[in-house]
Structures are given as structure tokens and as C-alpha cells.
Structure 1
Amino acid sequence: MILEAVMLQVKEGMEAEYEQAFRQASEIISSMAGYISHELQRCMEVKGKYLLLVKWETIEDHTVGFRQSEEYQEWKKQLHKFYDPFPTVEHFEQVTLKGF
């Protein structure tokens, strides 16, 4: 399992509109092959700051299967207009700790 983590900064005054658009766009990502789950967290200290966490079966499910799909074009159309600056996407894998 791969965790995609994205820190998002939404343009000032667009937070409510963004959250509504994200709810609708969630249908897109959740329909993709290799998708496991996702969540959007709103920062309590910084207005307009969000953390998006998406779990994928493999990194390729995100970077190829989703990012190179027609569905991604619709995702971009619905959400990318809200971001300033444009976010950096990072991928993480779980560290296995013996004995825990």
C-alpha cells in the first residue's frame, strides 16, 4: 500500500466552494483501479490549508493509472483552479517495525 500525501493551499475565500467541489470530485478518484481510500483534513491553525491523504495499492495506480487517465482531466478541471501555490505530491510507504 502506498500513501499519497498532498498539502493544499486553497485561495482565500474559496474554502467552502472548494470543499463542495472536492465532495463531487471524490467520486472520480474513488472509482479508479488501485484506489483504497482517501480523506481530506482541514488545518485548524492556517485558513485555507488542507491535507489530502490517498491510499493506493501501488504507486503506479496513482502515477500512471490515475494521472494518465481521462478521469484525471476531469479531476483537474474541478479542483486545480482552487490551489495557490500548486501543491507538491509525495508518496510514502509504511515502515515495518518488528515487535510493534
Structure 2
Amino acid sequence: MILEVAEILVQPGEEEEFEAAYRVAVTHLLGSAGCHSARLTRGVENPSRFVLFVEWESVQAHTEGFRNSPAFTRWREGIGRFLVGTPRVEHFVPAGE
């Protein structure tokens, strides 16, 4: 299992609209092959900063499968207008197991 961690910066003042758009757009993410779960969190000190956690079967399921699919296009169409820059994305594996 791979954990994708994406830091998302949203236009100040549009946080609630982003969250509403995310609730719709996340269906495209969750319906993708290899995607097991997704959870969005919002910053306390900086409420325009969100962190998205997505569990994938593999890095390739995310970077090749999802990103090269129509679902990714619909995902970005749903949330893209709210973003400040490109989200910072990293992948992680369980440690100490």
C-alpha cells in the first residue's frame, strides 16, 4: 500500500467552495483502479492549506493509471480553479513493519 500526501493551497476566501467541489470531484478519484481511500484535511493555522491523503495499491496506480485517465481530467476540472499553483505530492510506504 502506498500513501499519497498532497499539499493543496487554495485561493483565500474560497475554502468552503473548494470543499464543496472536492466532495463531488473525489468520486472520480475513488472510482479509479487501485485507489483504496481518500481523506481531505484543512489547516488550523492556515485554513487555505489542505492536505489530501490517498491510499493507492501502488505508485503506478496513481502516477500512470489515474493521472493518464479521463477521471484525472474530471478531478482537475472539478477543483482546479481553486488551486494556487500545483499541489506538492509525495508518496510514502509504511515504516517499521
Indicate whether the TM-score tops 0.5.
yes
1:63 maps onto 2:63 in alignment = yes
Unaligned runs of 5+ in 2: none
Q: Which moved more, 1:66-75 or 1:80-89?
A: 80-89
Give CA-to-partner distance per residue, 1:49-71, whole Å, 9 cap, x none. Answer: 11100000111110011000011
Alignment of 1:87-98 (within 5 A): 87-97=87-97
Superposition deviation, residue 96 in structure 1: 2.5
Instruction: For residue 96 of structure 1, give the secondary structure of its aligned residue in structure 2.
Output: coil
Whole-angstrom CA distance in 1 between matches of 2:96 and 2:83: 34
- For the pair shown, which has the larger CA radius of gyration, 1 or 2? 1
Query: Sequence identity, in percent?
Result: 36
Unaligned runs of 5+ in 1: none
Q: Segments of 4+ in structure 1 off by > 3 A?
A: none
Give the counterpart letter for 1:42 in structure 2.
Answer: R
Whole-angstrom CA distance in 2 between matches of 1:46 and 1:91: 23
> In the comparison of the two structures, how many residue pairs are matched?
97
Give CA-to-partner distance per residue, 1:63-87, whole Å, 9 cap, x none. Answer: 0110000111111111121111221
Instruction: For residue 78 of structure 2, give the secondary structure of its aligned residue in structure 1.
Output: helix
Superposition deviation, residue 47 in structure 1: 2.1
In structure 2, the partner of 1:46 is 46
Alignment of 1:1-100 (within 5 A): 1-97=1-97
